[in-house]
Structure 1
Amino acid sequence: MTWQPFYVGDGTPRDVDLGAPPPWRSFPRQALHKQFQPPPGLVQAVNAALMLRRPLLVTGPAGSGKSTVVEQVAAELKLGAVLRWHITSRSMLAEALYRYDALGRIHAQRLAGSGDDDIAPFIQLGPLGTALLPVDRPRALLIDEIDKSDLDLPSDLLDVLERGEFEIPELARYNRDVVAVREWDSDTRSDVARGRIQCAHFPFIVMTSNGERDFPAAFLRRCIRFTMPRPTVEALRRVVEAHLRIAADDRSDLFDPLIEAFVARVSDGESLAIDQLLNAVHLLTSGDVPAGGERQEVLDLVLRELSRA
């Protein structure tokens, strides 16, 4: 990329080559497990969670790499594609276990006649339900931003996380003992016997939190907890080199001052994400670098403090 304006603002149509995107903005999205640089202590926390079969609760500011942890673990241990449950204030445990389209089933019965009553097409396991299937190797599950949930959700999770099983009442009452249901985010189907799913290996679960709320003690004692540390200049230099594939001595005169300024701002209490730093370094190392006032204008755009509109 050379620093030439794609958009000029004169309304004249023109052919423009936008160049290659940043590695983390290429589509289809690629996992960043090779680029992730775990901070001190995280490897030990992951191994403790794996050995104890406990969820790992990772707390830290947005953009600090919390959700990438599970991708790296899943890749290294060959746990398959990561299952993802993104939490909002409306998220409920039931939808993470399974989803039943009752209206769709009724509609299909009316169209096909009373003789056709196959329930399987109308039940799909959720991300947590899929993670609890009895498989040969544990699955990896990301429960992202659990601190944005309803107040009751962490407590609702306790029984499932302790027992590693749940029941699908619609299948428990069904007239067939075994039904093949579709897994989450997949066309794969798994047999469910008498409506009960019980894991053979407890999944590797990473729950992320931005630290915006407290959790009940009963919930916390069932987790291995890790707080992402404040970034250091050396740690961020490794992150930049890994993500942008920049050699240690290549153009460090450009991005080292950015890293130092970034760390100073975070230390002063500003809310900034690491991907903002990556954006700034990418813009200033990918071609002709803007100079003077234009350079500072670009930096102000991509390194704007997150707590401000």
Structure 2
Amino acid sequence: MAIGFLEILSIVFGWVYFFAWSLSFYPQSLLSWSRKSTSGSTVDFPFLNSLGFFAYFVSNLVFFYSPLIREQYDRRHEGLAPTVHINDIWFAGHGFLLSVITASQYFLPHVWGFRPSHGSKPSRFIMGVFSGCIIGVVFIVLVVLRSPHRNSVDGDVVRSSWVWLDATYAISYVKLVVTLIKYTPQVIVNYKNKSTVGWSISQILLDFAGGVLSITQQGIDSYLQGDWSGITGNPVKFALGNVSMMYDAVFVTQHYVLYPGGKEKAAETDSLLGRQPEDEERRIS
């Protein structure tokens, strides 16, 4: 009975965190739309996020649909299959699309009817990371193209030579790099402004909830299987899953503890709900 309950709980947590993470892409763009401004936030986050989710989308597509990549993965990992599912592809594609839409609010404010604001151009640091990721992937692809064994599916060759699987890995690692640093510019902006007005806390709360449920599901599944290799066998993936949650904790602290800004945030909430301050005053009176 207990095992059955945990299996159901794992499924429920899986769906809830999937929807929480999917919904987390909307609050920032909706908040900017309601304020008709992107002030208080920076384009660095959606700009870098667009690259990360594009890389994630492409690598998931290849891992899921390419017979060659799946066979090379099988040879290198002793008969295992890539742990990519169709929902991973949909999630990555959805994340890329929403990140591009959010970034366009900074790059094309006149199209959205927004007021010009600071932070609408990527910082030099983020541009360097963006360029570095692309250069790194191109370099690995060129190395693979020069390898005479790039299309091999022989186990010994795949484990010791450059093959197309390595190029796919290079693309997927872009998401790793992006996740590690994409929040940093906004943390700094909030610190300099001594405010989080303009930066949606709703997306952070959804992201944090999704992260907690994802890790909990991972723990439940490992317990049910009697095998903790899903965590201990891939510490990088497990650590990466916690990076966003650590940043989320920083944003929550900034928003609710360090820079509460009650009046400004109340007005921001009214704007997001489509309610004007004078409407609220009229309702109270």
The TM-score with structure 1 as length reference comes to 0.21
Return the structure number with greater strand share: 1
RCO greater where, 1 or 2, for CA within 8 Å and sep 6 or more?
Answer: 2
Bigger Cα Rg: 1
The TM-score with structure 2 as length reference comes to 0.22
